[in-house]
Each structure stands twice: as structure tokens, then as C-alpha cells.
């Protein structure tokens, strides 16, 4: 096992050594239930799919994911353990990736624990399970996008509350970028290519098609590149700001 | 061997370390001294590869800390200021994590962890989470972490800060026992520590070296070097007796009751025989008589204040 794996294990372990992981998972499941059954009208729709379930994920992640991401680096800087970690024979990329992956796996575990709803929809009807698997994967990748932003914001400050607020703000921007409300608000003199580019950066643009079962590898590629770019930015920010 | 050449570290306009050059050989225990804000911690952070130097370079056994960071870092054990560690882990879990990162696998992990737990006496808190430990134990966990891989170079930033006298003694003994084949750099502002454990002392002020030598050499720069301390049982006019004695520079009353005196020597030469002769001839009512080696504190103050004077003027 390389250093990446060792750091990943330590981080994941520390989520479960404190109540954080349990609180996160429980709240995630409860809010998911409320959104799906109450606001989403899961039963009233009379359709055997999980569209109302996945449809709320961007908005759920908007507040849940920054809460786990906020401590990633802010706490290391606050307690001074960053000095310990980065003077060990560890490459910065292993540290950044190891921490990110641990948080990503935590969101994955929370997401996987929503399986009863999948069981339910299969019991009640005959859904397209391929679409559901793709939507789960897409949702997890989107959570990764939120987390990568959070990793970078957490590296910017010693204060995890500030990291939380910054992450929510930036994530919100990326969520609404692709929404029709925002796109229609562009005045007509703005060239179409700019509107398209703007829309292409939006989370909803990519996630909506995945959730509806349009499995396009480009949507996954978007989230992968997005995660990579924000993690790279995290590493640069850590390198720049570790002194203070 | 550690070689530091023309090391400079700037934070925006502030120069924390200013063109610092020195080298440390195996077997040396270097005491790194200086007033608060002199650049001690910054220098250590650059040597250990946490901060990149603004100019100059640091090599550990030939490995440049900037360009061959991983090789250099493998040779170093480092206790950062304040001994940070992951509070949510227990002592055992934390040390296992460090052992793994340091490249130990399988049975070696337990072996090394047990060894360091023994070395710094942590048995009683093995399964306690670190955030609940006292300051002394936290510091020892930090030390255990630093010596995990039996490093060739040990860099300790204020290792005894916040420890009680017994713990201090224990840590100093540990440093001494480790030092035989290693390079140890210890920063401290406790001067007695330097005389107790260090074979060499470097004093820095405003990011520059202002003194470098063995503790004895530095002590000999003190105006107290070779001075004679006399305590009397009864008042006696020493001044009159000593006026004509060659080599005596001055006499000062050392205690307010007028019974203790310090007799300073001229140019650090020994005046023991002259003064003891006079004392016998004149029948001084002596209860105590000894030669001072010099006071490190005095040297520390004079060299660091000189530097400050230069910096301000």
C-alpha cells in the first residue's frame, strides 16, 4: 500500500472515529427521504423510476457535501498537523488525493445506504435498473465535484466555517449555471457560444441527462476533469498558503 | 551531514532568515538559540522541507531538500513546534499511522511502535485518544513520532517546552542517548538545556548567526568568565584589598545584603591564585568562594542585543 492508501485509510477512519460520519449519513438519509416522498411526490407520480429521488441530489449536496469538505485542510492548518504531514516523506499529490478520496468514499457510503428506495421501486414496478445504476454513479460523481471545490476552499482558510460558506457559494454558482432561469436571463446581445459555454459548465446540464438515463460518457468526463482541476487548484493553494 | 548555505527566507517584505550558512556533522547536538522571532522555527521549517527557501539551499547527506525532497525527508525525524498530532486518534493508532508512512510493513510496524512507546514511556496512554492527553504526554507522542524510523537527522523544535522538571530531565537524557551517531538540532530558549545536552550552540538574531561555538566557548565570551564569586560571613572591605591586585578588572556587589561579591577578571584571564592569596593574607571571613565558568545568559543577551541595536540603527 502506498502513502496515498495510508492517508486515505487514516482519513476515512477518523470520519468514523468521531460522530461526523454517522451524523452525516443519518441526516443524508432522512433529508433524502423527505425530498423524495414528500416534495418529489414519489408515489403520486405513479411511475416506476427514481427521478424525484435523484432530482433533489444537487440541492441536497449543496449543503451536505461542503459540511464534510470544510475540515479537509482548514483543520490541518489550524492544528498545525499540516506541518507534520508535509514533512513526512509524502508527496503533496498523495495527501490531496488521499483526503479527497476518503471524503468521496464517505459520500459514496451514504449514497449506497439509500438502497431501500431502489428495492422499493423494484417491488412496486418494473424500472429500468440500468438507468438507476447510471444515475447513482452520476450522482456520486457530482458529489465528487462538490467535494473537490470544498477541498480547494478548505485549503484557502484556517477557519472551517468560512470554508463551508465559500464552498456553498461556489457550488451554488455551478449548480445554477446550467439552469434555464439563469440562461434566459442573459441579454440577447450575448453571443450564443458564450451562453453555451456557460451552460456546459453547469452541474445540472450534466446531471439531468444522466439522471434521465441518457448515458453519455462526456458527462462523466466533465465531472472527472472538473474534480481533477479543483484538486490541482487545492494543491497549488496549499503550497502557497502553508506558511501562514 | 547537513549543509545550509546562504539560506534566505522572506515573507513578503519581512526577512525571517537572512543569508544563513552553517553545517552540522554526525554526532553533533546543535542547540539553536535566539530570542522569539529570531527565525529559529522558520529555519527549521525550511531544513525539514515544509517551507521552500527564498534563496540558498539545504542538503541532507547530499540530498537537496527542494529538488530531492522525499529522499531528504526520509532521513529526517521532526518534532514541529507545539508537537501537533491527530487528536481524534489514540496514541497507538497515531504511531501505527506514522510507522506505515515511514515505510514499515507487517510485523515491523508493531515492533517499531512498541520500541518508541518504550523509549519515551507512553505505555500508560497507549489506548487513550491524543486530544485527552496532558501537554507532557502530547509532547512525548510527538517525540515518539519523530524517532520512529531511527532517523539520521533529528530536528526538535522546543522539545521540552511545557514539561515538568522530571520530564525535561527524561527528554534531555533521551536526546543525549540518541545523539552518538546522529545529527540533532534542538531549538530552545532554555539556556541550561544547551549546557546540559548540546555539543555546539548557534545563536541567531534577526535571521543571522551572532554566535557559534561549544557551550564552553560561548561561556568564555561572558564577562563572568573566570570571575570569582565570594560570599562573606561578615562585612569586609574587599575593594580596598583588591585595588592593587593585577588582573582584577572590577568588583561588584552581587547581593543586596552586601556580603556577596563578584570579582571580574581582566580579559578573561585566570585570577584565582592572586585573589585567593589576598584573601588569605587579609583574612577575609569567607563562607563561599568559586570561579565562574561564565554565564550563557549573559552572552546571549549581549550578542542578541548588539544585533538588535545594529538592526534598528
Average pLDDT, chain B: 87
* CA distance, residue B180 to nearest chain A CA (Å): 24
Instruction: Say yes or no for a CB contact (<8 Å) between B73 and A89.
Output: yes
* Residues of chain A numbered 62-121 and touching chain B (CB < 8 Å): 79-81, 83-84, 86-91
Q: What is the mean pLDDT of residues B136-161?
A: 92
- Chain A residues with CB under 8 Å of B97 CB are 6, 10
- Chain B residues with CB under 8 Å of A13 CB are 89, 93
Angle B6-B9-B15 (CA atoms, 0-180°, nearest 5)?
A: 105
Distances (CA, A) of B21 to B7, B17, B18, B211, B217: 6, 10, 9, 12, 20
d(CA A214, CA A225): 19
Domain that holds residue A137: 3-241
Residue B222 has pLDDT above 90, yes or no: no
Per cent of chain B over pLDDT 90 is 42
Closest residue in A to B129 (Cα–Cα): A17
**Which one, of B161, B143, B157, lies nearest residue B187 by Cα?**
B157
Confidence of residue A244 (pLDDT cuts 50, 70, 90): low
Please report the number of interchain residue pairs, chain A to chain B, with beta-carbon separation below 8 angstroms. Answer: 61
If one compares A235 and A53, the residue with the highest pLDDT of the two is A235
Q: Which residues contact A149 (CB under 8 A, 6 or more apart)?
A: A69, A167, A170, A171, A174, A230
Q: Which of B11, B50, B103 sits opposite A86 (nearest CB)?
A: B50
Closest residue in A to B82 (Cα–Cα): A80
Instruction: Say yes or no for a CB contact (<8 Å) between B101 and A90.
Output: yes
Query: What's chain B's Rg over C-alpha atoms?
Result: 24
Q: Which of B11, B87, B101 sits opposite A6 (nearest CB)?
A: B101
Q: Which of A10, A90, A243 sits opposite B11 (nearest CB)?
A: A243
Per cent of chain B over pLDDT 70 is 98
Instruction: Say yes or no for a CB contact (<8 Å) between A81 and B49.
Output: no
Residue A1 has pLDDT above 70, yes or no: no
* CA distance, residue B23 to nearest chain A CA (Å): 20
Which pLDDT score is estimated for A149?
Answer: 96
User: Is A3's Cβ below 8 Å from some Cβ in B?
Assistant: yes
User: CB-side exposure of B173: number of CA atoms within 13 Å?
Assistant: 9
- Chain B residues with CB under 8 Å of A18 CB are 88
- Chain B residues with CB under 8 Å of A80 CB are 80-82, 84
Instruction: Say yes or no for a CB contact (<8 Å) between A89 and B102.
Output: yes
HEC sequence for chain B: CEEEEEEEEEECCEEEEEEEEEEECCCCEEEEECCCCCCHHHHHHHHCCCCCCCEEEEEECCEECCCCHHHHHHHEEEECCCCCCCCCCEHHHHHHHHHHHCCCCCHHHHHHHHHHHHHCCCHHHCCCEHHHCCHHHHHHHHHHHHCCCCCCEEEEECCCCCCCHHHHHHHHHHHHHHHHHCEEEEECCCHHHHHHHCCEEEEEECCEEEEEECHHHHHHCCCCCCCEEEEECCCCCHHHHHCCCCCEEEEEECCCCCCEEEEEEHHHCCCHHHHHHHHHHCCCCEEEEEECCCCHHHHHHHHHHHHHHHHHC
d(CA B249, CA B272): 13
Instruction: Specify the residue for cell string 458564450.
Output: A194
**Which one, of B86, B48, B37, B79, lies nearest residue A242 by Cα?**
B48
Q: Which of B9, B11, B44, B50 to mutate to test the interface with A (most CBs of A within 10 A)?
A: B50
Instruction: Specify the residue for cell string 493508532.
Output: B93
- End-to-end CA, chain B: 37
* CA distance, residue A182 to nearest chain B CA (Å): 41
Tally DSSP H helices, then E strands, for chain A: 14, 0
Q: How many domains does chain A have?
A: 1
Domains along the sequence of chain B with CATH? 2-220 (3.40.50.300), 228-292 (3.30.70)
Confidence of residue B313 (pLDDT cuts 50, 70, 90): very low
* CA distance, residue A80 to nearest chain B CA (Å): 6
Buried b (16+ CB within 10 A) or exposed e, A185-218: eeeeeeeeeeeeebbeebbbbbbbebbeeebeee
* CA distance, residue B30 to nearest chain A CA (Å): 20
Q: What is the mean pLDDT of residues B186-214?
A: 88
d(CA B71, CA B58): 13
Q: Which residues pair with B184 in a beta bridge?
A: B29, B154
d(CA B198, CA B128): 33
Using an 8 Å Cβ cutoff, are A113 and A32 in contact?
A: no
Residue A192 has pLDDT above 90, yes or no: no
DSSP state of A40: S
* CA distance, residue B84 to nearest chain A CA (Å): 5
User: Range with the lowest mean pLDDT among B1-15, B104-118, B164-178?
Assistant: B164-178
Residue A102 has pLDDT above 70, yes or no: yes
Q: Which residues contact A116 (CB under 8 A, 6 or more apart)?
A: none
DSSP state of A207: H
Which pLDDT score is estimated for B24?
Answer: 93
Residue A64 has pLDDT above 50, yes or no: yes
Residue B34 has pLDDT above 60, yes or no: yes
Instruction: Say yes or no for a CB contact (<8 Å) between B80 and A84.
Output: yes
Using an 8 Å Cβ cutoff, are B59 and B215 in contact?
A: no
pLDDT tens for A194-240 read 778 777 788 888 888 887 777 778 888 989 999 999 999 999 999 98
pLDDT tens for A137-175 read 989 999 999 999 999 999 999 999 999 999 999 999 888
Per cent of chain A over pLDDT 90 is 51
If one compares B26 and B243, the residue with the highest pLDDT of the two is B26
Q: Which of A6, A80, A244 sits opposite B84 (nearest CB)?
A: A80
Residue B91 has pLDDT above 90, yes or no: yes
Spatial strand order of the sheet with B228-232 comes to B248-253, B260-265, B228-232, B286-291
- Chain B residues with CB under 8 Å of A1 CB are 100
- Chain B residues with CB under 8 Å of A14 CB are 86, 88-89
Which pLDDT score is estimated for B312?
Answer: 56
Instruction: Specify the residue for cell string 527557501.
Output: B53
Which pLDDT score is estimated for B237?
Answer: 79
Q: What is the mean pLDDT of residues A166-193?
A: 83
Average pLDDT, chain A: 88
Among the ranges A191-200, B127-136, B178-187, which has the highest mean pLDDT value? B127-136
Tell me what ipTM this predicted complex has: 0.88
Residue A15 has pLDDT above 80, yes or no: yes
Amino acid at each position: 500500500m502506498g502513502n496515498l492508501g495510508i492517508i486515505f485509510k487514516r482519513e476515512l477512519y477518523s470520519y468514523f472515529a468521531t460522530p461526523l460520519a454517522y451524523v452525516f449519513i443519518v441526516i443524508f438519509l432522512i433529508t433524502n427521504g423527505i425530498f423524495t416522498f414528500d416534495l418529489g411526490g414519489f408515489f403520486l407520480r405513479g411511475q416506476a423510476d427514481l427521478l424525484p429521488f435523484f432530482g433533489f441530489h444537487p440541492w441536497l449536496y449543496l449543503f451536505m457535501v461542503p459540511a464534510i469538505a470544510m475540515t479537509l485542510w482548514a483543520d490541518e492548518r489550524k492544528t498545525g498537523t499540516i506541518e507534520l504531514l508535509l514533512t513526512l516523506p509524502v508527496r503533496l499529490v498523495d495527501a490531496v488525493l488521499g483526503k479527497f478520496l476518503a471524503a468521496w468514499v464517505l459520500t459514496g457510503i451514504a449514497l449506497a445506504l439509500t438502497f431501500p428506495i431502489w428495492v422499493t421501486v423494484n417491488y412496486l414496478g418494473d424500472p429500468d435498473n440500468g438507468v438507476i445504476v447510471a444515475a447513482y454513479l452520476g450522482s456520486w460523481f457530482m458529489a465528487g465535484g462538490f467535494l473537490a471545490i470544498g477541498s480547494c476552499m478548505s485549503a484557502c482558510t484556517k477557519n472551517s466555517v468560512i470554508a463551508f460558506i465559500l464552498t456553498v457559494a461556489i457550488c451554488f454558482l455551478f449548480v445554477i449555471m446550467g439552469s434555464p432561469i439563469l440562461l434566459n436571463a442573459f441579454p440577447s446581445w450575448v453571443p450564443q457560444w458564450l451562453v453555451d459555454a456557460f451552460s456546459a459548465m453547469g452541474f445540472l446540464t450534466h446531471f439531468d441527462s444522466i439522471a434521465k438515463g441518457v448515458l453519455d460518457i462526456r458527462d462523466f468526463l466533465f465531472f472527472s476533469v472538473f474534480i481533477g482541476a479543483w484538486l490541482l487548484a487545492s494543491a497549488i493553494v496549499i503550497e502557497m498558503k502553508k506558511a501562514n | 551531514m547537513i549543509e545550509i548555505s546562504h539560506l534566505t527566507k522572506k515573507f513578503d517584505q519581512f526577512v525571517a532568515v537572512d543569508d544563513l550558512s552553517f553545517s552540522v556533522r554526525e554526532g553533533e547536538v546543535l542547540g539553536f538559540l535566539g530570542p522569539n522571532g529570531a527565525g529559529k522555527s522558520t529555519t527549521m521549517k525550511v531544513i525539514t522541507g515544509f517551507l521552500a527557501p527564498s534563496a540558498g539551499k539545504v542538503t541532507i547527506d547530499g540530498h537537496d531538500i527542494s529538488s530531492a525532497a522525499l529522499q531528504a525527508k526520509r532521513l529526517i525525524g521532526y518534532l514541529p513546534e507545539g508537537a501537533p498530532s491527530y487528536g481524534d486518534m489514540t496514541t497507538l493508532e497515531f504511531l501505527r499511522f506514522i510507522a506505515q508512512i515511514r515505510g514499515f510493513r507487517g510485523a515491523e510496524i508493531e515492533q517499531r511502535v512498541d520500541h518508541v512507546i518504550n523509549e519515551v514511556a507512553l505505555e500508560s496512554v497507549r489506548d487513550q485518544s491524543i486530544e485527552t492527553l496532558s501537554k507532557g504526554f502530547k509532547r512525548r507522542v510527538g517525540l515518539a513520532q519523530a524517532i520512529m524510523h531511527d532517523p539520521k537527522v533529528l530536528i526538535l523544535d522546543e522539545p521540552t517546552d511545557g514539561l515538568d522538571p522530571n520530564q525535561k530531565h527524561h527528554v534531555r537524557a533521551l536526546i543525549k542517548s540518541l545523539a552518538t551517531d546522529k545529527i540533532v538540532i534542538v531549538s530552545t530558549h532554555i539556556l541550561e538545556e544547551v549546557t546540559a545536552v548540546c555539543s555546539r550552540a548557534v545563536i541567531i538574531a534577526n535571521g543571522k548567526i551572532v554566535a557559534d561555538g561549544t557551550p564552553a566557548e560561548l561561556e568564555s565570551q561572558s564577562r563572568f568568565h573566570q570571575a570569582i564569586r565570594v560570599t562573606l560571613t561578615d562585612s569586609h572591605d574587599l575593594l580596598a584589598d583588591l585595588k592593587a591586585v593585577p588582573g582584577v578588572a572590577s568588583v561588584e556587589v552581587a547581593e543586596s545584603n552586601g556580603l556577596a561579591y563578584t570579582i571580574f577578571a581582566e580579559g578573561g584571564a585566570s585570577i584565582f591564585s592572586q585573589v585567593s592569596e589576598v584573601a588569605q593574607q587579609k583574612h577575609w571571613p569567607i563562607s563561599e568562594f568559586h570561579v565562574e565558568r561564565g554565564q550563557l545568559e549573559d552572552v546571549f543577551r549581549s550578542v542578541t542585543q548588539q544585533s538588535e541595536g545594529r538592526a534598528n540603527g
